[in-house]
């Protein structure tokens, strides 16, 4: 076949998100003894997942990274211990996990295979099976669909008074709003502050984590459980009666019935990291975005993501903090910069709150301000 008539290679398929949970699980096991890393880096240590381990979602949201890492270590050990009470295959998986990952000095694949008296090929095959068993055991233990997510509490919001007031007004009028902007710009922080200011209004918060809870069933079960707690049980009752089978049309109607029953104290539904959904590539994500779009007009909703994905009544795009607000952040952190350094910092960070926090952390570590600015 000539170069002119040769067919192009097919585009690579998007990653299989069904394997993402096991990928995160294996990464956590590989860093099992690095507690800080687990708490800071592993999605499995998020308050959404670990609320069962430390007294509910409100308590787990206040844990430090170290405490979250320790909670994840306990959850992994408990899930593996449960495997050891099951059939022979799962007991063998439990032993493989213990030998490979839980020893004070983890073994290499060669060392673990030798310890377990099996060939390397057999070891890798059995390890894959063991990870599948542990993933199911951990999911059974944590049951994330029934742990309601909550954002971290906000002590003080700087430089966002105007947009915060606009969001608050829109939600109080039952409108759907979107918050977008680059990473670290403070979207989740602003959303959490708005929810705090709503006071007695009840808020549902759901953070999308691809591979962990990006299924329509996860969203519906979490939402149904939340509404059931507010004495609106129709959606939850149908989900339980259907034993996991989903009929989106019926469920949406029941959701509307539940929301109508709460008109005296209507909830606000908040969905964070919405931009991680890829409806054009992943069919289950298309179902989720269609569902989220159908909520418009039914209740007040807040959608947060780096880019707009759901059609809303009002959209707010966050920019970096201005010079005055950036200076307030520094003053609150006890840092007094010369005017030239302040202007340089603002130029280098664009007023991005996360980058300002990075500057503060580096400066507090003992580095000279000029060196920190040069590194940025």
Q: Which pLDDT value is given to residue 271?
A: 96
34 has pLDDT over 70? yes
Is residue 4, in this structure, part of any structural domain at all? Answer: no
Domain that holds residue 70: 17-144
Q: Which pLDDT value is given to residue 18?
A: 40
- pLDDT-based confidence at 245, cuts 50/70/90? confident
116 shares its domain with 237: no
| Distance between CA atoms of residues 298 and 294, nearest Å | 8
191 shares its domain with 290: yes
- pLDDT-based confidence at 7, cuts 50/70/90? very low
| Distance between CA atoms of residues 79 and 257, nearest Å | 38
Output the CA–CA distances (angstroms, integers) from residue 166 to 154, 175, 190, 214, 308, in the order listed.
18, 11, 11, 30, 18
Is residue 8, in this structure, part of any structural domain at all? Answer: no
Is residue 7, in this structure, part of any structural domain at all? Answer: no
244 has pLDDT over 70? no
Residues in contact with 317: Cβ distance below 8 Å, sequence separation at least 6, in sequence order:
179, 180, 181
Determine how many CB atoms are found less than 10 A away from the CB of residue 7: 6
| Distance between CA atoms of residues 236 and 242, nearest Å | 10
Is residue 5, in this structure, part of any structural domain at all? Answer: no
Work out the angle between the directed axes of helices 65-83 and 20-30 (0-180°, nearest 10): 110
Contact 43, 212 (CB under 8 A): yes
184 shares its domain with 292: yes
User: Domain end: 274, 296, 317, which one?
Assistant: 317
107: left (phi over 0), alpha (psi -120 to 50) or beta: beta
136 has pLDDT over 60? yes
- Which has the minimum average pLDDT: 29-33, 50-54, 108-112? 50-54
207 shares its domain with 140: no
- pLDDT-based confidence at 1, cuts 50/70/90? very low
Q: Which pLDDT value is given to residue 2?
A: 38
- pLDDT-based confidence at 211, cuts 50/70/90? confident
Q: What angle do CA 198, 226, 173 make, to 5 degrees?
A: 35
Is residue 155, in this structure, part of any structural domain at all? Answer: no
128 shares its domain with 172: no
pLDDT tens-digit map of 271-311: 999 999 999 999 999 999 999 999 998 899 999 999 999 99
How many helices, marked H, and strands, marked E, lie in the chain?
18, 5
Contact 353, 186 (CB under 8 A): yes
337 shares its domain with 197: no
pLDDT tens-digit map of 333-358: 888 888 888 888 888 888 888 888 88
User: Domain end: 110, 144, 178, which one?
Assistant: 144
| Distance between CA atoms of residues 303 and 314, nearest Å | 10
Q: What percent of the chain has pLDDT over 90?
A: 44
Q: Against a cut of 0.75, is the pTM above it? A: no
Q: Which pLDDT value is given to residue 277?
A: 94
- Which has the minimum average pLDDT: 235-244, 258-267, 294-303, 350-359? 235-244
Contact 137, 268 (CB under 8 A): no
233 has pLDDT over 60? yes
240 shares its domain with 289: yes
Residue 20, classed as helix, strand or coil, is helix
281 shares its domain with 213: yes
What is the chain's mean pLDDT, rounded? 83
Mean pLDDT of 323-338: 86
260 shares its domain with 234: yes
- Please provide the DSSP assignment of 57-107 as one string: HHHHHT--HHHHHHHHHHHHHHHHHHHTTS-HHHHHHHHHHIIIIISSSPP
218 has pLDDT over 80? yes
- Tell which wins on pLDDT, 281 or 236: 281
170 shares its domain with 133: no
57 shares its domain with 118: yes
- Which has the minimum average pLDDT: 82-96, 237-251, 308-322? 237-251
* Paired residues of 192 in beta bridges: none
Mean pLDDT of 109-116: 91
171 shares its domain with 219: yes
Q: Which pLDDT value is given to residue 49?
A: 60
Is residue 70, in this structure, part of any structural domain at all? Answer: yes
Mean pLDDT of 366-371: 75
Contact 139, 78 (CB under 8 A): no
Mean pLDDT of 195-210: 84
CA nearest 261: which of 231, 241, 239, 235? Answer: 231
Domain count across the chain: 3
pLDDT tens-digit map of 35-60: 999 988 887 887 656 654 444 433 44
User: Domain end: 317, 336, 359, which one?
Assistant: 317
Reported as half-sphere exposure (CB side, CA atoms, 13 A), residue 121 has a value of 0
- Tell which wins on pLDDT, 157 or 372: 157
- pLDDT-based confidence at 82, cuts 50/70/90? very high
Is residue 213, in this structure, part of any structural domain at all? Answer: yes
31 has pLDDT over 50? yes
Is residue 181, in this structure, part of any structural domain at all? Answer: yes
DSSP category for residue 185 = S
């Amino acid at each position: 076949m000539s170069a002119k008539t040769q067919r192009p290679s097919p585009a690579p398929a998007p990653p299989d998100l069904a394997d993402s949970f096991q990928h995160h699980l294996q990464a956590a096991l590989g860093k099992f003894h690095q507690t800080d890393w687990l708490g800071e880096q592993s999605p499995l240590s998020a308050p959404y997942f670990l609320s069962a381990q430390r007294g509910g979602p409100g308590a787990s949201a206040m844990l430090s990274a170290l405490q979250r890492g320790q909670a994840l270590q306990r959850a992994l050990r408990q899930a593996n211990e449960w495997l050891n009470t099951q059939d022979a295959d799962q007991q063998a998986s439990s032993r493989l996990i213990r030998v490979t990952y839980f020893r004070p000095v983890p073994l290499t694949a060669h060392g673990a295979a030798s310890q377990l008296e099996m060939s390397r090929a057999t070891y890798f095959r059995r390890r894959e099976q063991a990870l599948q068993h542990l993933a199911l055991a951990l999911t059974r233990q944590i049951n994330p669909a029934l742990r309601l997510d909550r954002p971290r509490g906000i002590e003080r919001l700087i430089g966002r008074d105007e947009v915060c007031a606009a969001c608050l007004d829109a939600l109080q009028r039952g409108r759907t709003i979107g918050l977008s902007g680059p990473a670290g710009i403070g979207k989740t922080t602003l959303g959490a502050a708005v929810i705090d200011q709503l006071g007695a209004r009840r808020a549902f918060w759901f953070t999308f984590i691809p591979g962990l809870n990006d299924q329509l069933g996860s969203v519906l079960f979490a939402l149904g459980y939340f509404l059931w707690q507010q004495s609106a049980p129709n959606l939850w009752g149908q989900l339980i009666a259907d034993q996991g089978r989903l009929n989106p049309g019926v469920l949406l109607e029941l959701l509307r019935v539940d929301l109508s029953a709460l008109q005296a104290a209507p909830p606000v539904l908040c969905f964070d990291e919405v931009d991680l959904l890829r409806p054009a590539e992943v069919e289950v994500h298309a179902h989720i975005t269609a569902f989220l779009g159908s909520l418009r007009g039914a209740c007040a909703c807040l959608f947060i993501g780096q880019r707009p994905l759901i059609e809303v009544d009002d959209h707010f795009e966050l920019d970096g903090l201005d010079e005055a607000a950036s200076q307030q952040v520094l003053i609150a952190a006890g840092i007094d910069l010369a005017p030239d350094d302040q202007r340089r910092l603002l130029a280098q960070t664009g007023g991005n709150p996360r980058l300002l926090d990075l500057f503060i952390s580096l400066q507090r570590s003992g580095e000279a301000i000029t060196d920190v600015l040069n590194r940025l």
